Structure 1
Amino acid sequence: MPDRRLIANAVLFQLSWLACVLGGNSYWLTVPAVALLIHFFWVSSWAAEGKLVVSVMLAGAALDSFLLQLGVFTFVGQELLAPLWLVMLWAMLATTLNHSLGWTARPIWRAALLGAIGGPLSYVAGAELAGVGLPLGERNSALLLAAIWALVMPLLHGFAHLYREQYRVQQLARRRSGA
């Protein structure tokens, strides 16, 4: 029987994706906020994954803001930085790396393949639902995003592995010191 936490992790991500894409910067952002709380209190913990979520969120916000500046995306009323709802999607993606998407970490080609396919699909579907402009066109945007995400997903799994090991070493040191 599948682990309930893995299923919850996947469902929380999907609900958050829908809330962010359909709700934008509105009260619907409470959905991913609550999903993050559930994740940290039931699926994992802030100590185990807080650094990963913050790092991925900041890196993703920087990447999407850079792509916005390059003219890959256009957001109504957003000219400099990626909107908050998109940043929240990065936080939610981070919660899946050690859980529902953990199977894609090894071998690394799985992460690259998932990124090359899932990244562009998520952006193109999200653009259609959220009214995000794709000035390069859907096909060209998808091809560019496929190349970017084929690199991004393995990199994100690298962050996850690094922080998981740091947490494991910290926990081991605490047990040894009796703290």
Structure 2
Amino acid sequence: MPIRLISNAVLFQVGWFACVLGGTSWWLLIPLAALVIHFIWVTSWAAEGKLVVSVALAGAALDSFLLQVGVFDFATTDTLAPLWLVMLWALLGTTLNHCLAWSAKPIWLAAILGAVGGPMAYFAGSSLAEVKLLLGPANTVWILAPIWALTMPLLHGFARLYREQFRLVQAARRR
């Protein structure tokens, strides 16, 4: 496995733990550093900046919605997803063209990964970050699994769209 894929996965995991364990504190410097390292060493802002921002915004909207309808309770906010969770979404955006690229084709792999991995990440994070799953574990799985089964393919769609846009821009610049 190429070193860039491994480093991408490690940066994501280190950032994930810093976000979940540190919440909205100086620990957020760790995922911020992971994002900077990703853009300097693994890829470039030009190649993936739009993707990372789009994933962070989409994730913030989704988790804010789930907060508002009573799926989650964050100790620090009752209106919008907390900053540490938005950072997690940004970190997820860095994986779509790299260590999670395998799940893009066929697209059903992304749906399965989302249906299983999405709820698992929330359960792990909820116990470490003191996030309450207000509907209980079973009901939360029934809500999150289909949402994530749709979300991962959608995020891979963003990645594919932005990769194609980047290729077209690069090709136009070479002419």
- C-alpha contact (below 8 Å) 1:120/1:143 kept by paired residues: no
Residue 108 of structure 2 aligns with which residue? Answer: 109
Stretch deviating more after TM superposition (153-162 or 75-84): 75-84
Tell me, yes or no, if structure 1 residue 34 matches structure 2 residue 62. Answer: no
Amino acid at match of 1:76: A
Identity of aligned residues (%): 69
Question: How far did residue 139 of structure 1 move?
Answer: 1.2
Superimposed CA distance per residue, residues 121-153 of structure 1 (whole angstroms, 9 cap, x where no aligned partner): 000110011000111001110221001000000
Q: Which residue pairs with 2:123 in the alignment?
A: 124
Structure 1 unmatched runs, 5+:
none
Contact 2:76–2:82 (8 Å) recurs in 1: no
Aligned match of 2:67? 68
- Letter of the 2:100 partner, please give it: L
Paired residue total: 175
TM-score, reference length from structure 2 = 0.99
Aligned ranges 1:1-179 → 2 under 5 Å: 2-176=1-175
Residue 167 of structure 1: how far off its partner (Å): 0.1
What TM-score, normalized by structure 1, do the two folds share?
Answer: 0.97
Deviation per CA, 1:20-75, whole angstroms, max 9, x where unpaired?
00100011101110000000001000000000000110010000000000000001
3-state SS of paired residue (1:79): coil
**SS of equivalent residue, structure 1 residue 9:** helix
- Structure 1 residue runs of 4+, over 4 Å off? none
Check whether the contact 2:18–2:28 (CA below 8 A) recurs between aligned residues: yes
Contact 1:120 1:142 in 2 (8 A): yes
Contact 1:112 1:153 in 2 (8 A): yes
